[in-house]
Every structure is written in structure tokens, then in C-alpha cells.
Amino acid sequence: MVRKRNYGTMFLLIVLAVLFLFPLVYMLGGSLKTNQEADSKPETIFPEQPQWRNYIDIFDAPNFNILLQTRNSLIVTFTVTAGQIFVAALAGYAFARIRFIWRDTIFIIFLATLILPFELIFVPLYLMLAKWGWINSFLALIVPVIANPFAIFMFRQFFITVPIELEEAMRMDGAGYMRIFLSLMLPLSGPPFLTIFILTWLAEWSALLRPMIFARTPDMWTLQVGLNFLNRGAQVTTPTTAYLMAGIALASIPPVVIFLIMQRRFVEGIAQTGIKG
């Protein structure tokens, strides 16, 4: 009885796994076709003759700017992630442990902004950045998203759990808030650090709307903007569909690898808070 049911479960698990993996297999298959084949025979999964060279040729294919755009993406993702962690660790500690005036009011206002999607405020942001002359610069791609109330919330929730006795012992020795933060709290904050790192890094690597609006010229585009541009029918005379598949396959490697390495942290981070990165 029990055995029979488990075979059923196993069967369903495998069928679903095949369905979930299929789009990725299709992408890899497409990336190994010739451009003509990918364009004229999208119904096949595997190439007639695998074109491994696609993964080399794509780097100097016309309109593809993989290296430069990858560089842009790396600059944006790592700066935003580091900035968010820096700002959020400081603020999270204050919200958790320092009793300053209006603390709870400010914290609630911060939390309330969590329901505010970027999609609703990109117009005013664009006008502000245009006025400052920031459009088409890394400043525009990075600075507006450094303050992440969700990251602040994560750090606060973590710092609250640190035993107060540790802090009091240091205070007895005459340590101020900054020293407590630097030599006690920060070294302990591995868990929220990693959670925010993976959630923010993945979200930033995949982001499209913000870099698309705030970066106007191809040399400032991130990888996602560049690949999306090619998909939306960049005016090219020869098909580049297989290159495009290779491009999105390459662009998917860093997030998938980071995800596989840090999966446990990712799952815990999401499950703890219920907020999508």
C-alpha cells in the first residue's frame, strides 16, 4: 500500500521535473543550432549538427556586446548588493538596539514602502535623475536602489536575536555603539548578509525596467537590456536566433551557479519572510 503510493509520487515528481527542465533543454538545444536552423526550425529541440562555436562567435557577433554589457551588469549588481548590505546593516542595528526618538514611527514608514513597486515611481525618478544629469550613468543605475527597506528589516530581525548580555558586557568595558556594531554585531551577521546578498544579487542581475529606462545608449546597457533588445527585432539582416539563445544561456549561468551554491540560504531567506527577491 505504502509502496504503491510512493511509486505514484515518484512518477509525478519525475514528470514534473521533465516539464520544468524542458524549457532549459530547449534553450541549450537552440543555442547549438545554426542561426538559420534556429530561425526556420524552432519545432525541433536538438540541433542537426551541434554548433559549439556559437559560444565563441557570439562574443564578436554584430550588435552583441556581451563582454561590455556583462561588465556593466557586474558593476551594477555588486555595487548595489554591497551598498544595500552596508546601509541595511547600520540601520538594522539601530532599529534593533538603539532607543532613539521616533524610532518605531520611522521603522513603520520604512516597512510601508515595501508595498511600493518601482514600476509606479519610475516617472518621477526619471525626471529627478534627468535634472541631476545622472541619466545614462552608473549613478542612475545604482544609487536609487541602495536603500532597500526589506534588507533593513532582515538585518533588524537578526540583530534582535543576538543576546543582549553580550552587548551589555561590552558596554561595561566602555564600548560605544560603533564599536559594538563593528566588533560584535557585524562579525555575527553572516546569515542576513548572505540572504540579502543572494536575493539582491539575483534580482539585480535579472532586472530589466530600471536599467532600460535609466541607461539610454548600448554602451551603458546591462546584459538583460542588451539581450532583450536583440530579441525585440533589432534591425539586423541575418538571423541571430541561435546566438540569442547562447546569450541567454550564458547570462543564466551566473545566477544558476550562485543559486545552486547558496540554495539553502536562498530557500531560508524566502521562507522566513515570504517576500520575493
Please identify which residue in 78, 126, 191, 194 interacts with another protein, judged by CB under 8 A: 126
Site string for another protein, 178-217 (x = CB under 8 A): ---x--------------------x--xx-xx---x----
Decide whether 172 or 271 has the Cβ nearer to another protein.
271
Decide whether 67 or 130 has the Cβ nearer to another protein.
130
Residue 175 contacts another protein per CB under 8 A: no
As measured in angstroms, the least distance from the Cβ of 13 to another protein is 5
Amino acid making up residue 225: V
The span from the CA of 265 to the CA of 139, in Å, is 30
Q: Which of residues 132-161 bind another protein (CB under 8 A)?
A: 143-147, 149, 152
Question: How many CB atoms within 10 Å of residue 65?
Answer: 21
Q: At CA 63, angle to CA 59 and CA 67, rounded to 5?
A: 35
As measured in angstroms, the least distance from the Cβ of 90 to another protein is 5
The count of chain residues that interact with another protein, using the rule CB under 8 A, is 94
Question: How many CB atoms within 10 Å of residue 186?
Answer: 14
Q: Which of residues 210-249 bind another protein (CB under 8 A)?
A: 213, 224, 227-228, 231-232, 241, 244-245, 248-249
Q: Which residues contact 88 (CB under 8 A, 6 or more apart)?
A: 148, 151, 152, 154, 155, 196
Q: Which of residues 64-123 bind another protein (CB under 8 A)?
A: 86-88, 90-91, 93-95, 98-101, 103, 106, 109-110, 113, 115-123
As measured in angstroms, the least distance from the Cβ of 172 to another protein is 16
- Given the C-alpha cell 557586474, which residue does it identify? 74
Decide whether 44 or 238 has the Cβ nearer to another protein.
44
The span from the CA of 189 to the CA of 191, in Å, is 6
Any idea what DSSP says for residue 60? G
Select the span of 48-56, 57-65, 164-172, 257-265 touching another protein (CB under 8 A).
257-265
As measured in angstroms, the least distance from the Cβ of 166 to another protein is 18
Residue 56 contacts another protein per CB under 8 A: no
**What phi, psi does 110 have (nearest 5°)?**
-55, -50
Q: Which of residues 3-42 bind another protein (CB under 8 A)?
A: 5-6, 9-10, 12-13, 16-17, 20-21, 23-24, 26-27, 30, 39-40, 42
Select the span of 62-70, 165-173, 187-195, 262-270 touching another protein (CB under 8 A).
262-270
Select the span of 58-66, 167-175, 186-194, 263-271 touching another protein (CB under 8 A).
263-271
Q: Which residues contact 197 (CB under 8 A, 6 or more apart)?
A: 81, 85, 262
Cell digits of residue 160: 534582535
Helices and strands counted in the chain (H then E): 16, 0
Cα distances (angstroms) measured from residue 142 to each of 34, 59, 75, 120, 125: 37, 26, 9, 18, 13
